[in-house]
Structure 1
Amino acid sequence: MTGKVREAISHAAARFGFSETPRLDAELLMAHALGCTREALLLGRLDDPAPDGFAALVERRAAHEPVAYITEVRAFWTIELAVGPGVLVPRADTETLMEAAVEHFGERSPRAVLDLGTGSGALLLAALDQWPEAGGVGVDRSPQALAVARYNARLLGVEARARFVEGGWDAVEGTFDLVLSNPPYIADTEELAREVAEYEPASALYAGPDGLDEYRALAPIIARRIAPGGVACIEIGSSQGESAAAPFRAEGLTVDLRQDLGGRDRCLVATP
């Protein structure tokens, strides 16, 4: 790819019409190709010659591969995470869980955090960064995901406060001040964007005919894991509010709904 960086970005963005953020995608790929931050790119590199490696990155994105898999990094909350095939790409919507947790604890700090379905470690590691006095456990069925989560814990310097366990929802015992979970919640028949359906792990996406299977399984376990004064923050699909809350309420939990920045139901806030 020849020409200046600014021209190459414009041409790339024009090919990413399938994306909700074509210009941002192109800028992130260019910053990756240049080995700089997006901020440095925009402030001082737009008139540089476009690097040779950018064209290959554009072709991968044009094939609908997620940007995070191409750059191998994703910003989430206050941290930056390594990501790649085999782990769900952390979304900005999932930060709604952290907002709800911060609101619950106020000036206090949770001491023990449990992240069920930890994936890349996003929620657990964001919580440990938010509360330096906290420690926690991340649980996942996928050895590949746990390897990524452990790597991220080392990158962030919190490996002494983070433990990762392979297994199902009930893999750990005890109670926790903060329980976080972004479980699978997509109905088996729902059609997803190519970059999700073709690249991200199906085991982290689909949850039975109505998308509620994992909430039914999680509810009795989470009810036993929340310590007095604690809270569970659980991600849901935007149309699942009351139906996802029902199994948790059936376990005697008080459940409120919290919306994401787009005003859509995104998080169950459950307390004993």
Structure 2
Amino acid sequence: MKTIFIIALLFVVTIVNAQQVFELSGQVKNKKGGDNLEFCSVVVLNKENKIIKGGITSEKGFFNLPVEAGEYKLAISFVGFQNDTVSIGRLNSNKFLGVFKLEPNNESLKGVEITASSSSAIIDKDIKVVTAEMRKGSIDTKEILEKINGVSYDRYANTIKVDNNKNVVILVDGVEKNQEYIKNLDPKRLNRVEIVRDPGGRYGLEGYAAVINVILNKNYRGTEAFFYDQAIVDRNPNKPDLLVPINNLYVSLNHTVNNVNIYGTISHNYMH
């Protein structure tokens, strides 16, 4: 009987001391275009800036985090955008925090290479400022990228890799682009490069290992024209036993004036 009483007493004490859990929710949008931002990192911090709970936004930009009662602040980050930190105050009920509008990050940074300690716990993002020394001897963007730790260009597969993984998403000023667009840009265009490993969200679900976000200089004026004709030997698709020379012809043109960009490509494969 005494044992049952002690167990019951401990059960009551546990209930009394248990913290009630509330839901923090909200939505994140692009301030410039108003579109929803998917897989933003959303983190709840206590007064000592210790991470209490973290998550990412959904396809519609919504987040929903279960948090115990307490006094907190919220930190939101997303590649290519300025971080946003707001005070939540004392949480003692479910709270919808409203819509957060992130500002695209187009500001120039000073320095050479940094990993922001304030955001490293929120998102694994490395930032590399493109310096005059990096541009020296580089004829295009892919050569600039090769000078960044962990980034390489596979000339046989004609693809950009991060940590030797070809599953990489390329963004330019936060907008997704194909690799052909970025490879041959003039190095003078580049302001900095942001690399996010294990991006999570949709990109993570689709198996991408990293996101490369290239931030361009404002008010750039210039034209890049690129041409190559690659010759390889491969099997004739109509006669598999016959090896034939195949040429891959590729031409691209990129013209920019006052933030207006015109881009076009032509490619053609032909057998001899």
TM-score, structure 1 normalization: 0.32
| More strand by percentage | 2
TM-score, structure 2 normalization: 0.32
- Identify which of structures 1 and 2 has the higher relative contact order when contacts are C-alpha pairs closer than 8 Å and 6+ apart: 1
| More helix by percentage | 1
Q: Larger C-alpha radius of gyration, 1 or 2? A: 2
